[in-house]
Amino acid sequence: MLVVVNQPHTDGFRIEGRVPKDILDYVESKYSKENISIMNDDGDELLDPTEMDFYKEVKARQTPGGNLRFYRKLLKMTQPELAEKLGTSKQAISLMENNKRPISRNTARELGKLFNVSPHRFFGF
């Protein structure tokens, strides 16, 4: 990996080799991102996926209900099966998945345990 920092009115500097994450984080905290280029060993610039349009679009579409649907389908579980595990109705699951009913903190905790993920994935943003 190659990290190049170009500062106005200076020659800048380069860091080559395996750059530890803490060093990279430090460099990014000290210099604005537009002045930093990160390249792989072939000289191709590496892009931060969180800065790409597709990532921003996907992130904007994420909702607690969408996450619930994603994890339910990941486990190949039907709405009635999930409802039974949570002690609720299929209609309640449908309303939560469609963001028409908020997911309570207790339900989010149960979902987190069931899907082995952080309950925060099911809280409102």
What pLDDT does 19 receive?
A: 82
The pLDDT score that the predictor gives to residue 71 is: 93
- 88 Rama sector, left if φ>0, alpha if ψ -120 to 50, beta otherwise: beta
> What pTM did the predictor assign?
0.56
Instruction: Say which CATH superfamily domain 62-122 falls into.
Output: lambda repressor-like DNA-binding domains (1.10.260.40)
Q: Enumerate residues 6+ apart whose C-beta is below 8 A from 38.
A: 1, 2, 3, 4, 24, 45, 46
Q: For tokens 């060993």, name the residue.
A: 41
Containing 36, the helix (H) or strand (E) segment is strand 36-39
Residue ranges, CATH 1.10.260.40, the chain: 62-122
Specify the pLDDT at position 99. Answer: 92
Q: Is 30 in contact with 10 (CB distance < 8 Å)? A: no
- According to the model, what pLDDT value does residue 2 have? 58
Counting as low any pLDDT under 70, the low residues of the chain are 1-10, 47, 60, 124-125
The conformation of residue 93, written as its DSSP 8-state character, comes to H
